[in-house]
Amino acid sequence: NRHVISMKDFSREEIDHVLDTAEKLEPVARGEERSRLLDGKIVSLLFFEPSTRTRLSFEAATQRLGGQALNLGSVEASSVMKGENLADTIRVISKYADLIVLRHPLDGSARMAAEFASVPVINGGDGSVHHPTQTFLDLYTIRRESHLEGLKIAMAGDLKYGRTVHSLCHALSLYGAEMTFVSPPELRMPPEIVRDLKKQKIRVRETDSLEEIIGDVEVLYMTRVQRERFPDPEEYEKVKNRLKVTGDLLKAADPNLKILHPLPRVNEIAPEVDSTPHACYFEQAFYGVPIRMALLALAMGVIE
C-alpha cells in the first residue's frame, strides 16, 4: 500500500512528482476538463476532528475524478461512541473502501491506522505534528505563486502547536529555504525542529516581531493560534492576538510578497489584506483539490 503519513517519508524527487501530477490535473480540478481516473473507486473520509477544507477538498477531488466518497459524518453518529477502537474501525472501513483519509487528534494515529488497514491511508492531519496533504498544497502554492528553490520564508503565529508549519519546514529544507520563525515566546517552534534544520545547514532566525522581518521575505505563512491544543485556556487568552497582518504592516513589504495561510483564520489577517495582490490564501485552499486528486490517484496506483 502507498500510504501518505508524514512528509519525512518523501524525497524531493517524489514531492516534485506529486506537484507535477497535480499541475496536470488542475484543469480537471477547475471543472474545465473531465476525468474518470477513479471510476468505481470509493474513498472513505474518516474525520475525528472538525474540518472544512481537508474533508471537502478530498470529497471534491474524488468526485472530479469520477470516484465516490464515503463519509463517516459525525463521530457522534458512529460506533466510536460505543467504545469501538481505531484499529477495529480501520479494519472494517478497509472492507468498504479503496482508500481511507483519516483526521485524528492524536499524534501517530495515521501511522497506526496504516498498520491495520488493508488499503492505502492518507493522513488528513493527526495531532500537532503531521498534516502532509496541507504541506503538499502549500508547496504547490509557493511553486505557482513564487518559487521554491532558496525561498526566503517567514512562518508566523502558533509555531508550537501548528502542525502545518512543522510539516512545511521539513519539506522546505529539501529546497534550501531560508526560514524566519515569528511567534510570541510562549509559542516558539519546538527546539528539536530548529536543531534539525540547523544540522541540515538551513539558515534559521527567530523573532517575535512581524515589523522586523516584513521587508526581508518573499513568502509570509501565517497561522492561527490553536486554541483547542492549549492545556490551559488562560494561556490561550494571553497570546491569542499578538501577531496580526494589516494594511499598515504591508506598506513595508516587498511588492512581490505572497501571504499564505492554511485557514481557518481567526484575527491574524485583517480583512483589508484580502483584496491586495499579496493575498494567496483562498487560491491556496483551491490548490488543495488538484493536490488531493494527485495524491488519491498515486496512492491507489491508477497513475504512476
CB atoms under 10 Å from CB of 196, counted, come to: 14
Q: Candidates 60-68, 79-87, 143-151, 262-270 — which segment interacts with ligand CP by CB under 6 A?
A: 262-270
Cell triple for 150: 532558496
Can you tell me which of 134, 135, 167, 223 binds ligand CP, judged by CB under 6 A? 134
Contacts of 231 (CB under 8 A, 6+ apart): none
- Give catalytic status of residue 103 as yes or no: yes
φ, ψ (nearest 5 deg) of residue 272:
-65, -15
To ligand CP, the closest distance from the beta carbon of 296 in angstroms equals 16
Contacts of 46 (CB under 8 A, 6+ apart): 72, 89, 90, 93, 100, 101, 102, 103
Give the single-character DSSP code of 279.
B
* Residue 94 or 141 with smaller CB distance to ligand CP: 141
- Give catalytic status of residue 244 as yes or no: no
* Residue 122 or 214 with smaller CB distance to ligand CP: 122
* Under rule CB under 6 A, residue 279 binds ligand CP: no
* Residue 53 or 143 with smaller CB distance to ligand CP: 53
- Give catalytic status of residue 82 as yes or no: yes
Can you tell me which of 127, 132, 157, 262 binds ligand CP, judged by CB under 6 A? 262
Task: Please report how many Cα atoms fall inside a 13 Å half-sphere around the Cα of residue 256, on the Cβ side.
Answer: 10
Q: Which residues are annotated as a binding site?
A: 53-54, 82, 103, 131, 134, 163, 224, 263-264
- Give catalytic status of residue 141 as yes or no: no
* Residue 263 or 291 with smaller CB distance to ligand CP: 263
Task: Please report how many Cα atoms fall inside a 13 Å half-sphere around the Cα of residue 275, on the Cβ side.
Answer: 2
Can you tell me which of 31, 36, 52, 203 binds ligand CP, judged by CB under 6 A? 52
Contacts of 296 (CB under 8 A, 6+ apart): 38, 43, 58, 61, 62, 65, 67, 99, 122
Which amino acid would we find at residue 168? Answer: L
* Under rule CB under 6 A, residue 157 binds ligand CP: no
To ligand CP, the closest distance from the beta carbon of 83 in angstroms equals 26
Can you tell me which of 61, 239, 263, 299 binds ligand CP, judged by CB under 6 A? 263
Q: Which residues are annotated as a binding site for carbamoyl phosphate?
A: 53-54, 103, 131, 134, 263-264
131: nearest Cα among 165, 159, 174 = 165
Cβ(41)–Cβ(167) under 8 Å?
A: no
Choose, from 131, 160, 166, 292, the residue flagged as catalytic: 131
**Helix, strand, coil fractions of the chain, as percent rounded to 5:** 45, 15, 40
Choose, from 3, 21, 41, 53, the residue flagged as catalytic: 53
* Under rule CB under 6 A, residue 53 binds ligand CP: yes
Can you tell me which of 6, 21, 44, 54 binds ligand CP, judged by CB under 6 A? 54
Pairwise CA distance, residues 229 & 223, whole Å: 14
293: nearest Cα among 40, 66, 128 = 66
To ligand CP, the closest distance from the beta carbon of 254 in angstroms equals 25
The position carrying cell 458512529 is 78
To ligand CP, the closest distance from the beta carbon of 6 in angstroms equals 16
Active site residues: 53-54, 82, 103, 131
Binding site for ligand CP (CB under 6 A): 51-54, 125, 134, 262-264
